[in-house]
Amino acid sequence: MPFAFAQLWSAPDINPINKKARSIPVLNPINKYGRTFFFSWLGFLIAFLSWYAFPPLLTLTIKKDLKMSQNQVANSNIMALTGTLVTRLVAGPLCDRFGPRLVFAGSLLAGALPTALAGLVKTPTGLIVLRFFIGVLGASFVPCQVWSTGFFDKNVVGTANALAAGWGNAGGGITYFVMPAIFASLMQYHHLTAHVAWRVSFIAPFIIITAIALGIFFLGEDTPTGSWATRHHVGEPITAPASPTNSITDHTEKSEKIDAEANNKVSAVDTAQGEVIVAPTFQEALSVLFSLQTLALAGPYACAFGGELAINSILGSYYLKNFPKLGQTGAGRWAAMFGLLNVVFRPLGGVVADLIYKYTGSLWGKKGWLVFCGVMLGCFEIAIGLTDSKQEKVMFGLVAGLAVLMDAANGANFAIVPHVHPFANGILSGFVGAAGNLGGIIFAIIFRYNGVHYNKAIWIIGAISIGVNVACSWIRPLPKGQIGGR
């Protein structure tokens, strides 16, 4: 279906078989599909803002106030990622069991409480422990993607997921503006000391997180058919007529053509039913987690998103080291650009993936795009690390190029996820998302053991990224004999 600007606000065309939208009503939060999209990206953005609220103030203010060593700062970054790793693994099965909407609201509320308690921290150890529990906010990515996948059809699901995640990831950049601004305002206009001001500043994200969580709970819907219990109601024609260009016949013919190639002909209804999320048995869950297709998504995501998390944590400090005249605020603002580029380029990664799929009809096209982004981002990391430039234009340009490729790789990755093991989308999304955090932890440890030699750690990460993406490039994107996902 060709794109028209009216799709941005009009009620979308609906696939009559699986009830999913074939366009994204970005500017229509009244429509249930638009409302789901709105809360998906906004909820994750607010979660990311609070999850990464410490680094902008940790560079100087909090580090000085709590008398933290460089290793303790690094440990706090590692624990924030570890908390998210654990909760993302749990969030996946919970999404399959209770539905992503409830898991989304629950993860936000669970992370809001430790955010509000930030002001009570008095020691480095206390901060490290607190950041572990705040890490639950990062788990909101899993229900964000599962929820979006459940409402948008294959032709736009890559774009929808990439937009929701990309705009959400921008919270990691926005926080570099918001938290220092709140901190400075409390000192300047309310005459608080730095010791008190940074603590009080964490009340703001607590209030916002709670409000968004309640909005998701009371205003969101579990599935296009209503409650989570009705998700199996696929294959029943809806009353509204399907458009000529998106008829059931066309959908069936396409499914039969693809399945004929695999000697496994199934009807369009069977295909749709094969994509309904179920609560997999333990054995089925293991088969999903340890399939080559899952690992081929987890590895590149560990490099792309994991690298983004680790670099985002140290970038302000790296800039301050190479360009001391910027100061904490200036370094933070330039570091914010790394996260803010997600607004455009993570969605673009998903859009390009969907376009490739549209014109090739093959998931190998999407996979090729993912591998290209993964290898190129590794090249940029090596360039940043080896040059260690003291020229602002060169450094900022290289980091911007790295951010573009990282964001695009992340978008490309979750444009493939909805196709693979669709009956266990929660488990798969949780595992791949957790792999991103595992990569972040591994890379944060590399940063920790290289101290302030940030450039050395970055080129090491680049070499790892290239190796992992090349190693995964040969794996076919879909398991043999899978019903649905095409």
39-74: pLDDT as tens digits: 999 999 999 898 888 888 887 899 999 999 988 988
Q: What is the pLDDT of residue 267?
A: 52
Is the pLDDT reported for residue 28 higher than 50?
yes
pLDDT tier at 252 (50, 70, 90 boundaries)?
A: very low
For the chain, give percent helix, strand, coil, nearest 5.
75, 0, 25
Please tell me the predicted confidence (pLDDT) of residue 290. Answer: 86
| pLDDT mean over 245-267 | 43
Task: Look at the alpha carbons of 382, 385, 387, 393 in this order and tell me if their dihedral is positive or negative.
Answer: positive
For residue 304, the model assigns a pLDDT of 96
Are 104 and 143 in contact by the 8 Å Cβ rule? The answer is yes
Residue ranges with strand state E in 92-226: none
pTM score, whole prediction: 0.76
Distance (Å, rounded) from C-alpha 417 to C-alpha 438?
18
The secondary structure of residue 62, as a DSSP letter, is: I
Mean pLDDT throughout 431-452? 90
Q: In the predicted model, is pLDDT for residue 273 greater than 50?
A: no
Please state whether 485 falls in left (phi above 0), alpha (psi between -120 and 50) or beta: left
332 close to 178: Cβ distance less than 8 angstroms: no
Q: What is the pLDDT of residue 486?
A: 60
pLDDT band at 249 (very low <50, low <70, confident <90, very high): very low
pLDDT confidence of residue 386: 95
Q: Which two tokens stand for residue 179?
A: 């938290």
Tokens of 112: 């809001």
Residue 14 has φ and ψ, to the nearest 5°, of: -110, 135
Task: Look at residue 226 and give its three-state secondary structure.
Answer: strand
CB 153 within 8 A of CB 21: yes
Lowest pLDDT segment from 17-26, 258-267, 477-486: 258-267
Q: What are phi and psi of 21, to 5 degrees?
A: -80, 145
Residue with tokens 């008095």: 122
Q: Which residues contact 344 (CB under 8 A, 6 or more apart)?
A: 166, 407
Q: Which of 427, 414, 150 is nearest to 287 (CA)?
A: 427
Provide the pLDDT confidence category of residue 128 given band limits of 50, 70 and 90. Answer: very high
What's the pLDDT score for residue 63?
92
- Burial label for 218, CB within 10 Å (0-12, 13-18, 19+), is exposed
- What CATH number was assigned to the domain covering residues 17-221+277-472? 1.20.1250.20
Report in angstroms the alpha-carbon separations of 483 from 259, 273, 423: 9, 9, 10
Least confident of 140-154, 248-262, 409-423, 440-454: 248-262
**Residue ranges per structural domain of the chain:** 17-221+277-472
Among the residue ranges 242-256, 294-308, 330-344, 358-372, the one predicted with the least confidence is 242-256
Residue 341 clears pLDDT 50, i.e. is over it: yes
pLDDT at position 131: 94
What is residue 78's predicted lDDT score, i.e. its pLDDT? Answer: 86
Residue 226 φ then ψ, to 5° = 125, -125
Residue 346 tokens read as 């993570």
Q: How many residues can be counted in the chain?
A: 486
Nearest Cα residue to 425 out of 20, 49, 109, 17 = 20
Would you place residue 3 in the very low, low, confident or very high pLDDT band (cuts 50, 70, 90)?
A: low
